[in-house]
């Protein structure tokens, strides 16, 4: 079964709306989670590393105030796209690293396809 649950799977909303995406680790506690963004026909780009109980670590060029990350528990991280605009339309996907299982170094959620009109 799924190890990581990500919701919602699809969001279509108007420009200016804030959108929250949840990423839940179902099978084990996750002190760290990753948030990626993938534009059409491009690769996954790491946006930020979410750290339980502390501030997220953002990659260069990713706006902290635009993409709010909260990791308040060992099983849940949320990404909020604030005041979303059409250029924020993308596929957002989270993952939970697994340092123990060499057969599956990170478990991905199913992703969220965000479309801003």
Partner 1 sequence: EDKVVQSPLSLVVHEGDTVTLNCSYEVTNFRSLLWYKQEKKAPTFLFMLTSSGIEKKSGRLSSILDKKELSSILNITATQTGDSAIYLCAQGGFTSGTYKYIFGTGTRLKVLA
End-to-end CA distance of the chain: 34
Q: Which of 21, 25, 111, 114 binds partner 1 (CB under 8 A)?
A: 111
Which DSSP letter does residue 87 get?
Answer: G
- Which residue, 43 or 65, has its beta carbon nearer to partner 1? 43
- Which residue, 2 or 72, has its beta carbon nearer to partner 1? 2
Count of chain residues binding partner 1 (CB under 8 A): 24
Residue 33: count of CB within 10 angstroms of its CB: 29
| Pairing status of strand 76-81 against strand 90-97 | unpaired
Does 103 participate in binding partner 1 (rule CB under 8 A)?
Answer: yes
Does 68 participate in binding partner 1 (rule CB under 8 A)?
Answer: no
Q: Which of 40, 60, 86, 87 binds partner 1 (CB under 8 A)?
A: 60
Does 76 participate in binding partner 1 (rule CB under 8 A)?
Answer: no
Does 62 participate in binding partner 1 (rule CB under 8 A)?
Answer: no
* Rounded (5°) CA angle 90-5-70: 70
CA distance 48 to 46: 6
Q: How far is the CB of 51 from partner 1 (least distance, A)?
A: 9
Task: Identify the CA nearest to 55 among candidates 72, 43, 40.
Answer: 72
Under the rule (CB under 8 A), what is the footprint of partner 1? Answer: 32, 34, 36, 41-46, 49, 57, 60, 93, 95, 97, 102-106, 108-111
């Amino acid at each position: 079964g799924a190890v990581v649950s990500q919701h919602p799977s699809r969001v279509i909303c108007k420009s200016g709306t804030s959108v929250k995406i949840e990423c839940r680790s179902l099978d084990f506690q996750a002190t760290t989670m990753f948030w990626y963004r993938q534009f059409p026909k491009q690769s996954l780009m790491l946006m930020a590393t979410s750290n339980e109980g502390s501030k997220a670590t953002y990659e260069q060029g990713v706006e902290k105030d635009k993409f709010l990350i909260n990791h308040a528990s060992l099983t849940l991280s949320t990404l909020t796209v604030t005041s979303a605009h059409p250029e924020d339309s993308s596929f957002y996907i989270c993952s939970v690293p697994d340092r123990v299982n060499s057969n599956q170094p990170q478990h991905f959620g199913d992703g969220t396809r965000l479309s801003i009109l």
